[in-house]
Amino acid sequence: MAAKLRLYNTLTRSKDDFVPIDPENVRLYVCGPTVYDYAHIGNARPIIVFDLLFRLLRHVYGKQAVTYVRNITDVDDKINARAARDCPGMPHNEAIRVVTGKTEEQFHADIRALGVLMPEDVNEADQPPRFVEPRATEHIDEMRMIIERLIARGAAYVAEEHVLFSVSAMQNLSGVPKYGAFSKRSLDELLSGARVDVAPYKRDAMDFVLWKPSGPQDPAWASPAGIQTPGRPGWHIECSAMAWRHLVQAFETRLTCADPNAREIFDIHGGGIDLVFPHHENEIAQSCCAFETPRMANVWMHNGFLQVEGEKMSKSLGNFFTINELLQDWPGEVLRFNMLRTHYRQPIDWTVKGLEESEKTLDRWYELAGRGETAFVSDHIVDALSDDLNTPKMLAELHALDGQSAHEELGANLRALGFLLEGAEAWKARKQSALNVDAAQVQALIAARKEARASKNWPESDRIRDELAALNVVVKDNKDGTTTWEVAR
Ligand SMILES: [Zn+2]
């Protein structure tokens, strides 16, 4: 019998036993990407971490007893700017669809390579969907509904065709948390942080936008609250609306909570640690005030930051990597493996050395475990994951199975964890082809270089050296006159 599931909860700042509201329908929401550019490797972390949680929940509660919602933000000012830049001359709405459609497709291809379950992998034709990937633009009605409710309760107001959430009004409502309680910020701190974002239409610097008017270059929908000018939603309201639609309203008939105040609450909300404030604080403010609940979700989980070779990843430092770029050099499973070597709440240092070690281990396990069953067959593995997704411990348990020559068991667990997705032959062949494809070409270039050097044709010899370098080949001239080469990482 596997151990009880325990999860660290940002809400309580402690690791607690997980108690689902309805064990026959455990409900999980994770903030997904804003689709305007390639996702970077930091974006891959929550995708992989919560994919693992989803797999674990499906194992513990049953495949039809978990609903996972991971949204796609396809309305955002960054998208508008990108559409104007990339598609000049195209009607703006069309340009936005081009940008979001292309980026979404790329995102799906990238994360599929990381061994992440996709809706089409888990949803069955005759069952309600267990993995929903809603788009913000398809939930404008729900956003308007929540905004109207907030206005009706006095928690939001209209000013200069904007709708704003009133932080001070929330502090006076009963039955809802205090604003700032989730991120543990005092009103003083919040105020000093909010001063940078002063706008004339705000009653209070801390108030945040629920809805704003659209200019001619912006996507636009009919506005709520009798505002005549068409507008568009703020970012935070999108998640409140999608979570409500797919985790609350979708199950309205079966939600029979003893506590009537818990009807609009779901089980787990996840995302990156950078979303705690303001995004999640604001989601909580909106959902709790609109539905008069003490919580939006019972458990809040946040993954830590990602650094590259000990430094903050940034375009200016030249250490900024998209998932797509990394996939050109490494199999997706190596990226996934490397991500899970660090516990999800710790900051992760993303290094080439770590990737090389991950690849070496996977090479070995591909060799040993081949094809076979896909299932969490070892209590030790499930126990490690049940301890707040302790993936370093989980990997130690996998190594232990390797040490005991329990190769079938090793393989079954690895496949359940999203590894060994192709056959050992395919894995090896792909890696071989990466190394072998140019072997004949490399030999020919080395021979030509030798000839050029013998005839003292230095420009030609240099040109060939550069060509070899472009193939990622490192050439070594040995003292005995021979030349050896290898493919550099
Ligand atoms: Zn969100």
- The tens digit of pLDDT for each residue in 374-403 reads 999 999 999 999 999 999 999 999 999 999
Distance 157 CA to ligand 1 centre (A): 22
The three-class DSSP label of residue 487 is: strand
Distance 433 CA to ligand 1 centre (A): 41
The beta-strand segments (E) located in 149-274 are: 156-159, 162-165, 208-213, 231-233, 266-272
Domain match, 468 and 343 both: no
Distance 182 CA to ligand 1 centre (A): 15
pLDDT at 18 over 80: yes
Domain match, 428 and 461 both: no
Q: Which residues surround ligand 1, an ion (CB under 5 A)?
A: 31, 239
Domain match, 280 and 427 both: no
Distance 57 CA to ligand 1 centre (A): 21
- The tens digit of pLDDT for each residue in 80-139 reads 999 999 999 898 889 999 999 999 999 999 999 999 999 999 999 999 999 999 999 999
Residues 292/175, Cβ–Cβ less than 8 Å: yes
- The tens digit of pLDDT for each residue in 119-135 reads 999 999 999 999 999 99
Domain match, 442 and 429 both: no
Q: Is 2 part of any domain? A: no
Distance 452 CA to ligand 1 centre (A): 61
Residues 51/416, Cβ–Cβ less than 8 Å: no
Of 35-39, 70-74, 322-326, 468-472, where does mean pLDDT reach its minimum?
A: 468-472
Distance 275 CA to ligand 1 centre (A): 8
Distance 10 CA to ligand 1 centre (A): 15
Distance 305 CA to ligand 1 centre (A): 17
Domain match, 283 and 413 both: no
Domain match, 447 and 405 both: no
Sign of the torsion formed by the C-alpha atoms of 366, 371, 376 and 377:
negative
pLDDT tier at 436, thresholds 50, 70, 90? low
In the listed set 282, 303, 324, which residue is the last one of a domain according to the structure? 303
The confidence score (pLDDT) of residue 482 equals: 78
Q: What average pLDDT does the segment 188-214 reach?
A: 86
Burial annotation 355-380 (CB, 10 A radius, 16+ → b, else e): beebbebbbebbebbeeeebebbbeb
pLDDT at 301 over 90: yes
Q: What average pLDDT does the segment 351-370 reach?
A: 94
Q: Is 1 part of any domain? A: no
Distance 403 CA to ligand 1 centre (A): 42
Domain enclosing residue 137, as ranges:
11-303
Element (H, E) at 14: strand 14-17
Distance 30 CA to ligand 1 centre (A): 7
Domain match, 225 and 293 both: yes
Domain match, 239 and 366 both: no
- Tell me the pairing of strands 348-350 and 66-70: unpaired
Residues 294/176, Cβ–Cβ less than 8 Å: yes
Domain match, 396 and 341 both: yes
Q: Is 5 part of any domain? A: no
* Domain count of the fold of the chain: 3
pLDDT at 196 over 60: yes
Q: Which residues pair with 486 in a beta bridge?
A: 474
Residue 79 structure tokens: 């998208």
Residues 300/283, Cβ–Cβ less than 8 Å: no
pLDDT tier at 432, thresholds 50, 70, 90? low
Chain-centroid distance, C-alpha 282? 20
Distance 480 CA to ligand 1 centre (A): 63
The C-alpha atoms of residue 339 and residue 313 are separated, in whole angstroms, by 15
Other residues' Cβ atoms within 10 Å of the Cβ of residue 50: 26
Q: What average pLDDT does the segment 150-168 reach?
A: 97
Domain match, 296 and 349 both: no
Residue 12 structure tokens: 């309580």
The C-alpha atoms of residue 11 and residue 280 are separated, in whole angstroms, by 11
Distance 33 CA to ligand 1 centre (A): 9
Chain-centroid distance, C-alpha 200? 35
Of 53-57, 331-335, 485-489, where does mean pLDDT reach its minimum?
A: 485-489
Residues 33/72, Cβ–Cβ less than 8 Å: yes
Distance 446 CA to ligand 1 centre (A): 55
205, 180, 203, 187: which is closest to 195 by C-alpha?
205
Domain match, 357 and 483 both: no
